[in-house]
Amino acid sequence: MHPKRVLDLTLGSTLLLLAAPALAAAAAVTALRRPPGGVLVREPRAGLDGRPFLLRTLPVRRLRLDTLSRLPHVVRGEMSLVGPAPLPPGAPGEDAPWRRRVRPGLTGLAQVRRGSGLPWEEPLMLDQHYVEHHWLGLDVHLLLRTPGALRTARREAAGQPGAGQAHLSDTDHRVRGYSAAE
């Protein structure tokens, strides 16, 4: 089994187990407020090799439960913890050959870099950069940076001054000792 899949299974299962009580409570509250028919939003998305799957999300933004509600997709192998954002079929960039080489992710370079002052803010470019340069170390780095990026995004959305920016350089993914001059 590929190390990235092992990380997805172990960390994804652990996070799902830890988040299950909060997800169950949020689902119960959502069920009380919605008309009958289910509490999950179902949307078609393109996965690995362009295979479609039905993304189920609990529409609750508090504590990022909407994102955590997608963890079953990680455990099943339809998504990864880290990867390009899952796009609906027909969305711009969805059919890019580079995108089909990896599973879509709960978080990724584009999500962590959101709001940074660096010149390449375009999410598709960041997703492509991730796909072309990903390795397990970059995944771990992005997973560690995600909570801080979420706090920063929340402060910026609330209009709080001094909200920090998530900064990653295009060399953050490189193996230690790497030099472009070699």
Residue 93: CB partners within 8 Å, gap ≥ 6?
87, 99, 124, 127
Instruction: Say whether pLDDT at 10 is over 90.
Output: yes
The per-residue pLDDT for range 148-173, each reduced to its tens digit, is 887 777 777 677 654 444 444 444 44
Measured in whole angstroms, how far is the alpha carbon of residue 82 from the centre of its chain?
5
What is the distance between the alpha carbons of residues 142 and 113, in angstroms, rounded to a whole number? 10
DSSP for 65-111? HHHHTTHHHHHHTSSEEESSPP--TTSTTTT-TTGGGS--EEE-HHH
The per-residue pLDDT for range 111-132, each reduced to its tens digit, is 888 755 555 557 888 899 999 9
Encoded tokens for 16: 């799902």
Q: What is the pLDDT of residue 174?
A: 44
Residue 32: CB partners within 8 Å, gap ≥ 6?
none
